[in-house]
Structures are given as C-alpha cells and as structure tokens.
Chains A and B, each alone.
Chain A
C-alpha cells in the first residue's frame, strides 16, 4: 500500500479530489484573514472623528482600470483551463500568458502610478488611519497577486511539462491555480469600492 488515493480522480462520496478540497480550505482561511482586516477597516472608520472620502485622495480612473485588468485576467485564466480540457496546450499557453501579462500590468499600475506618486507626496502609511488601511490592505492584496504571478508563471513554463506525463493532473492544477486567482480577483472587487468609492 503506497500511493495516496484521490490525487487525480474524485472520491465518490465527497465528489472532490484532494487538492480541490485543499484549495477551498485554504481559501476559507484567506476569507478569515481578509475578513479580519475588513472588520478592522469598519471598526476604525466607525470610531474615527473624520474619515476622508476615498475619491478625494485616490484616482478612480486608475482603480477602475485595474479592476478591469484583474477581471480580464480571471476570464483568460478560465480560458486557459478550458483549453486544457480541449487538449490544446498551445492555446493554454497563450491564455495563461495573457493572464500573467495582465497581472503584471496590475502591479505596474499599482506600483508606478499609485504607490510611488503617493510616497513622493509624503503620503505614507503612518500619515493617517485611512492611509494605514489603504497601504496595508492593498499591499497584502498585491503580495497575493505576486504569489499568483509566481505560480502561474511556473505553470506556464517548466510546470507545463507535466502535461506530457499526467495531463489530467496538470489540468487539475490549473483549476486549483484558477480558484486561487479568482479569489485574489474577488478581494480586489471588495477593496476597490471600500477604499476608492465609499
């Protein structure tokens, strides 16, 4: 007795393969992590004497642009997974490539058009509670984006060799990476309105 069961095929009574259950559990813990940070935002904002309107300090056009970029990358991520289901590795590489490029674009906009100009105006996290929340939440989200870029780049490059030996397992991996990526996208969809619009 050696091999671990249900690494690729789903178990009948749970309907899941191991990694799919694993990633959902991981996402549950991520919900608790960001949930606690969102709760912090609510508590500090309710307790504050004065809270600036996000739109007066942040650029809504840049935020909107980044939202569109991230949602598009989620769409291309799904296409990448579908391409593998269609047994088309070339198409997968193209869509995964788009996903990575869009994610990098998000980071570039965040860093060079948002963070650095803010720092140049001496707007640091210690400036006020608003900036503290803004930099902590978006910074942690950006770290998640960078993590996703790392994972996706691996699956786009050397990780894709698994397609030759274990195509089904590789397809599962892309599904897992996709679930994570949609979660990162979802966090931003919450962050954008609470920081930029409200």
Chain B
C-alpha cells in the first residue's frame, strides 16, 4: 500500500484530530503543553504582583477576578493559594512533562530507533486524549464554588482532606493524567525494546532514547502509588474515611467527625514516592535533548557515552529510594533521615557524571553556536546551579534551616525553569525543521535566548538569598509581616519585575514559532544540521510510516568527524 496515497484518503478528523500517527500525536502534545506552560506562567505572574506589592489592587485586570477572589482588585489569600497550587500542578503535570515526554518522546523515539510508529498507536492516541481530558478537568475546577485546588501541588492532608470541592476535581484530574502517563509509558518501553531496527543494539541507541526509556520506567512504577494515594484521599473526601486524618484532630475548633486513626505522614510517603522520581521524569528527557544537540553542534562524539548510559540507569534505580529527603522535618526519625540523606548524596553522583561528560565533550569541538546550541549550553550551568543548591537541602542538618523557605523554590526552579525549560526550547529550535520543513529565525531566536537567560537568573537568584535569610515559602504577603524578612523584602520586586519582563521576552519566541510554521526559511536538505541519528535520514516532514525503506544501523549514534570519512558526519545507517 502506498502510504502517501493512504494518507490522502484519510478523513481530516482521523488525520489531525484522532490521529494514530506518533508525529501528529507528538505535535498535539506539544501544542497543548505549550498552552499550559503559558497558562501556568500567567498564574505565577499574578502571584508575583501580590508578593511585590502586597495588599494593593492588581492593575488593569484586577477587577475581572470577582468579589470572591479579589474584592476591589486586591487578591485574597484563598486566591493566592489557588494560584500557587494550580501553578505547580499545571507546570509539572500539564506543561513540562507532556512537552518532554509526550511531545519530544513521541516525535523522536520511533524515528530515532528506525520504527514506523509506536508499538501501540491506538493506545498512543488514547493516551493523548485522556491527558487532554485531565487538562480540561483542571481548567474546569477554576469555575467551581471555592475555586480550584488550593492546598499546594503536594495536596498535603489534613488540609487537602477538608478543602473545598476543587480538591476533589483536582484528584479526578490527576487520575486522568496518571492513566495517560501509564498508557504512554507502556507504549514507550515496548517501542524501544521491540521496535529497534536491525543493527540498532542497545549501546548504539541515541542518549535521548535511553533517557526516554528510563523516564518511562519511572512513570510506570512511580505513578501508581500516587494513584493509590489519590484514591485514598478521594475516599477521605467522599466516603468520609480517615486514611489521612489522625484521631483527635480539631478543625476550626470542632473535633473531627470521622473515625480518625489515619496518618498524615502516609500521604507524604505515597506522594513523594511518586514525586521524587517525577523530578527525574522532568529532568531526563531534557538531558537527552541536550546531549543530542551538543553532540550535533560540537561535530565530535559525546565524551563518555557509555558512562552516561550507565549513569542514567543508575539514576532511574536510585530515584526510587530518595523520596523521604522531602520529609526531614516531619519527625520521621533520625535513622530514616540518615538513610535518605545517604541515598540523596549518592544519586547526585550520576547526575554529575552526565553533566561532566557533556562539559568535557565541548573540549576541542568546533562548536556551532546556533540558537538550539545556546539553549543547550545554558542548560549545563543552570542545571548545575539547581543541582548544587540541592546539596544543602539533601543534608538533613542544613535542611532544618532551609526547609520550606524560598531557597527551596529557587533551587528547584533553577532545575526546572532555566534548566529543563531551556532544554525544551533547545529541542524546539533544533527539531523544528524536521517536522515543518522550515527553519526558525536565528535572530529572533537569539533575541529570545539572551534576555531569557538573564531574566531567569534575576527571578530565581534573589529567592536563594531570601531563603537563606529564612523567608518561608507560601507566604501570602511575601514576608511583609516578619522582622527577619525585612532586609530582603525588596528582592521580591526584583523577582517580580524580572518575571513580567520574562513574559515579554517570550514574545519573539511565540512570534517566531507561529511565523516560521508558515513563512520560515525552507530547508533544502532532509538533514539541515548534518546529524548522524536516524530521525534525520527520513523525508521532511516524515510521512505516514516514517521511513521509505526500513533502515539498517551499522554504527553508534555520534560518529562525527570520523578519521578518513569523506564528511564530518557519518549517519548511523551508512554501511
């Protein structure tokens, strides 16, 4: 059957909306998650107003939030909590992860392993639409009485157990998102293990595929305990059980109505059993993207590919036994703390190995500084900052001072925002030509990159300082009422102005992205970056079924500048 003929016959709904083609599904994931990234970012910009100018009316748009959220345009604490909880939820579960896994994983994994599609195409479609339903559920929760969930993205009981109905809908939304990632992870693992083309042995897999494989295992095995926890919290809220409610609990001066006998720490254990691996679910695809882009733009093989692969496997394994370092201050005991502190120090080693390999790879390369490469290079020091600031949090003694302060916010945002999101931007600039046949504008790309790099640091570095001064996170007024916060209070304005400026700095990207789809410079080659991996050895854009003939792989993923070769790159499928 001629695949091109076949695709013409397909109904438009089948082709673009309910497509089972991994590339269309990847693009659907990409557009949806970019929307949610922007939405989650907007929630945060509102919070930043309240932190910089507590108790003053939000200019221009304040009057649109209604009396229940912002009477007279002045944000109520409940609204602030709602924004905080939903910013975290949306950025993690609807923004960064679906972009890294759902979009890039779907687009690239089948192409990089020489497969015609994912192993289970219909499951793949179902995974997207269940994710979409989860997103709609989360958006819907904003219009409920009492608003969306407001107990933090961690949903700690007992607060979450007694919160308004938004929390119930949050849990239902999470069940959709968990189901979606479960379907996706089964699909990714099966695809990588089963559909590798002839000659593509494990040690010839591009690092990106390794990172996606490990990520899929984390999603597969770490998410179900959160689903279990979600079910138990739903039971607490709907069937009035007391899984997470201890005996003798008083709520607003009234004794608890349920039977009691539950454990609040149980939720935290179940939650962090997911949420620590989740950190690596966020991080690993980004590392994979960065490795691909760096290898391509230094024109030489990655230094230490084998150690990087073993490191990523080790990270995957270790990430299951570090979760309680989020709970040093819950009184779970020093023996437990010591264990989790030790595993936490151990897991930082493979991350450092990967980062070092990428740094050392740069040595002696003839580096091409295009926009994708700039973002990928910026990932290295920015993620480095995030990682290093994490060490004092992983040691239980120094964590006593830093726990639940702005230092924590600064730390993990360094990992996620200028780290992971920069890597995702790099991926968009790098692979854009493959799927559209056009290049994004380099000047606009640099106009996007340099201000973003500067502003990201201007947002998050002040938070590290505030945190060291002891300012708690989740304060509705940014620390206004606390004597110890007075010295660093003005930094709130620095962060806020930078955050709003960061929004402006994204305009070149949004314009560039939309403009280049239609009017960007056409690529003249299927392989404009002269890359070695298989996704570039397809037509542009790849048709239904991806490859014209099944490729055979003869060599490793990064054979750049092979001595004696006619060109400075030797594709994997070249005999």
- Residues of A whose CB lies within 8 Å of any CB of B are 1-6, 11, 14, 16-19, 21-22, 25-26, 28-30, 32-37, 40, 43-44, 47-49, 124-129, 132, 135-136, 140
- Establish whether residues A25 and B119, one from each chain, have CB atoms under 8 Å apart when the complex forms: no
Contacts of B262 in A (CB 8 A): 44, 129
Q: Is B72 an interface residue (CB 8 A)?
A: no
Indicate whether A136 sits within 8 Å of B119 (C-beta atoms), given known contacts A33-B224, A40-B270. Answer: no
Please encode chain B, from 227 to 257, with 1 for each CB lying within 8 Å of some chain A CB and 0 for all others: 1110110010001111100000000000000
Quick one: which of A19, A28, A34 contacts B221, CB cutoff 8 A? A28
Quick one: which of A6, A26, A136 contacts B235, CB cutoff 8 A? A136
Report the bound CA distance from A140 to B240 in whole Å: 17
User: Can you list the 8 inter-chain pairs with the closest CB atoms, starting with the nearest?
Assistant: A126-B240, A132-B241, A36-B225, A33-B224, A36-B228, A32-B224, A129-B261, A2-B545
Shortest Cβ distance from residue A49 to the other chain B in the assembled complex, whole angstroms = 8
Report the bound CA distance from A42 to B121 in whole Å: 40
- Establish whether residues B186 and A25, one from each chain, have CB atoms under 8 Å apart when the complex forms: yes
Report the bound CA distance from A19 to B223 in whole Å: 21
Q: Is B486 an interface residue (CB 8 A)?
A: no
- Establish whether residues A129 and B239, one from each chain, have CB atoms under 8 Å apart when the complex forms: no
Quick one: which of B186, B187, B261 contacts A44, CB cutoff 8 A? B261
Which residues from 179 to 196 on chain B have a C-beta closer than 8 Å to any C-beta of chain A? 182, 185-187, 189-190, 193-195
Contacts of A127 in B (CB 8 A): 259
Contacts of A25 in B (CB 8 A): 185-186, 189-190, 220
> Which of B203-211, B514-522, B546-554, B566-574 binds A?
B546-554
- Establish whether residues B119 and A22, one from each chain, have CB atoms under 8 Å apart when the complex forms: yes
Indicate whether A21 sits within 8 Å of B225 (C-beta atoms), given known contacts A4-B195, A125-B240. Answer: no
Q: Is B1 an interface residue (CB 8 A)?
A: yes
- Establish whether residues B235 and A4, one from each chain, have CB atoms under 8 Å apart when the complex forms: no
Report the bound CA distance from A34 to B228 in whole Å: 8
Quick one: which of A21, A28, A33 contacts B228, CB cutoff 8 A? A33
Contacts of B544 in A (CB 8 A): 2
Contacts of B239 in A (CB 8 A): 124-126, 132, 135
Question: Whose C-beta in chain B lies nearest to the C-beta of A34?
Answer: B228
Quick one: which of A6, A22, A37, A136 contacts B195, CB cutoff 8 A? A6
Quick one: which of B194, B229, B242, B243 contacts A6, CB cutoff 8 A? B194
- Establish whether residues A36 and B273, one from each chain, have CB atoms under 8 Å apart when the complex forms: yes
- Establish whether residues A140 and B116, one from each chain, have CB atoms under 8 Å apart when the complex forms: no
Q: Is B266 an interface residue (CB 8 A)?
A: yes
Report the bound CA distance from A49 to B247 in whole Å: 11
Report the bound CA distance from A126 to B242 in whole Å: 7
Quick one: which of A16, A30, A35, A44 contacts B243, CB cutoff 8 A? A44
Shortest Cβ distance from residue A2 to the other chain B in the assembled complex, whole angstroms = 4
Shortest Cβ distance from residue A81 to the other chain B in the assembled complex, whole angstroms = 21
Report the bound CA distance from A158 to B241 in whole Å: 41
Contacts of A22 in B (CB 8 A): 119-120, 123, 186-187, 190
- Establish whether residues B119 and A33, one from each chain, have CB atoms under 8 Å apart when the complex forms: no
- Establish whether residues A33 and B227, one from each chain, have CB atoms under 8 Å apart when the complex forms: yes
Contacts of B545 in A (CB 8 A): 1-2
Q: Is B3 an interface residue (CB 8 A)?
A: yes
Q: Is B258 an interface residue (CB 8 A)?
A: yes
Contacts of A26 in B (CB 8 A): 182, 186
Question: Whose C-beta in chain B lies nearest to the C-beta of A5?
Answer: B195
Contacts of B228 in A (CB 8 A): 33-34, 36-37, 40
Shortest Cβ distance from residue A88 to the other chain B in the assembled complex, whole angstroms = 29
Contacts of A17 in B (CB 8 A): 194
- Establish whether residues A29 and B261, one from each chain, have CB atoms under 8 Å apart when the complex forms: no
Beyond A32-B224, A126-B239, 13 additional contacts (C-beta under 8 Å) are A2-B116, A3-B116, A6-B195, A14-B193, A18-B120, A18-B190, A18-B195, A21-B189, A21-B193, A22-B120, A29-B185, A29-B186, A128-B259
Shortest Cβ distance from residue B229 to the other chain A in the assembled complex, whole angstroms = 7
- Establish whether residues A126 and B259, one from each chain, have CB atoms under 8 Å apart when the complex forms: yes
- Establish whether residues A43 and B266, one from each chain, have CB atoms under 8 Å apart when the complex forms: yes
Q: Is B292 an interface residue (CB 8 A)?
A: no
- Establish whether residues A14 and B194, one from each chain, have CB atoms under 8 Å apart when the complex forms: yes
Contacts of B121 in A (CB 8 A): 4
Indicate whether A44 sits within 8 Å of B263 (C-beta atoms), given known contacts A2-B545, A29-B223, A36-B273. Answer: yes
Quick one: which of A1, A21, A40 contacts B547, CB cutoff 8 A? A1
Question: Whose C-beta in chain A lies nearest to the C-beta of B550?
Answer: A1
Question: Whose C-beta in chain B lies nearest to the C-beta of A51?
Answer: B261
Report the bound CA distance from A5 to B197 in whole Å: 10
